[in-house]
């Protein structure tokens, strides 16, 4: 038998995380570690604190929520100690979030390509043209939306999961 040493590299390490909404303790001392190449699923009943943990990791908790204990480290760097500018560079490049109800997250009055380009512009310092070129990259259908200037249909309209012209309904997968 051959012993193979597998070097694991810890990406994310959360220790003793505590988050409160006002006086209500929503997350009470959670520990988790994610190594490179590892996938971690967080499952639990509604209201148990999954989104709060994710928002804390991304440092996007809004008052009255606040971290009252513990540490969150990405590649050893303490995220809770980062400045706004450091966090802006860190997010999207290292950790991204797909929010609940993601299909409703696109702004119906902005072009899809412009919304996709916002990420590279805001977090990677890319110019609008560089970011748009990147937006055209992900796949033929997405590229078509970007080229044609499609807008997502308003979530208030009947076809909330479809795209505005020129793509027919049912193409928002």
What is the contact surface with ligand ATP in residues (CB under 6 A)?
21, 24, 26, 44, 46-52, 64, 100
Instruction: Please name the residues in contact with 134: beta carbons below 8 A apart, sequence gap of 6 or more.
Output: 116, 117, 120, 126
Positions in the binding site for Mg ion (CB under 5 A)? 50-51
Least distance to ligand ATP from the beta carbon of 13, Å? 20
Pairing between β-strand 77-78 and β-strand 24-35 as defined by DSSP bridges: unpaired
User: Which one of ligand ATP, Mg ion, none interacts with residue 107, CB within 5 to 8 A by kind?
Assistant: none
CA distance 101 to 113: 20
Least distance to ligand ATP from the beta carbon of 53, Å? 7
Is it true that the peptide bond before 166 is cis, omega within 30 degrees of 0? yes
User: Which one of ligand ATP, Mg ion, none interacts with residue 52, CB within 5 to 8 A by kind?
Assistant: ligand ATP
User: Which one of ligand ATP, Mg ion, none interacts with residue 109, CB within 5 to 8 A by kind?
Assistant: none
Answer for the pair 119, 166: CB distance below 8 angstroms, yes or no: no
For ligand ATP, the closer CB: 65 or 116: 65
Least distance to ligand ATP from the beta carbon of 17, Å? 12
For Mg ion, the closer CB: 51 or 126: 51
For Mg ion, the closer CB: 80 or 100: 100
Length of the chain: 173
Least distance to ligand ATP from the beta carbon of 32, Å? 14
For residue 67, give Cα distances in angstroms to 47, 79, 110, 159.
17, 12, 34, 39
């Amino acid at each position: 038998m051959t012993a193979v040493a597998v070097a694991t590299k810890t990406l994310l390490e959360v220790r003793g995380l505590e988050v409160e909404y006002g006086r209500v303790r929503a997350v009470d001392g959670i520990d988790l570690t994610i190594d490179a190449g590892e996938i971690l699923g967080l499952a639990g009943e509604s209201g148990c604190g999954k989104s709060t943990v994710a928002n804390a990791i991304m440092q996007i908790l809004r008052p009255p929520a606040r971290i009252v204990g513990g540490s969150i480290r990405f590649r050893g760097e303490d995220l809770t100690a980062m400045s706004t500018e450091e966090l802006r560079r860190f997010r999207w490049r290292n950790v991204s979030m797909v929010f609940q109800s993601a299909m409703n997250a696109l702004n119906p009055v902005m072009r899809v390509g412009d919304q996709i380009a916002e990420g590279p512009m805001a977090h990677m310092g890319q110019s609008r043209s560089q970011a748009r070129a990147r937006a055209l990259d992900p796949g033929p259908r997405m590229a078509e939306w970007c080229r044609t200037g499609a807008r997502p249909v308003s979530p208030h309209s009947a076809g909330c999961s479809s795209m505005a012209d020129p793509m027919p309904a049912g193409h928002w997968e």
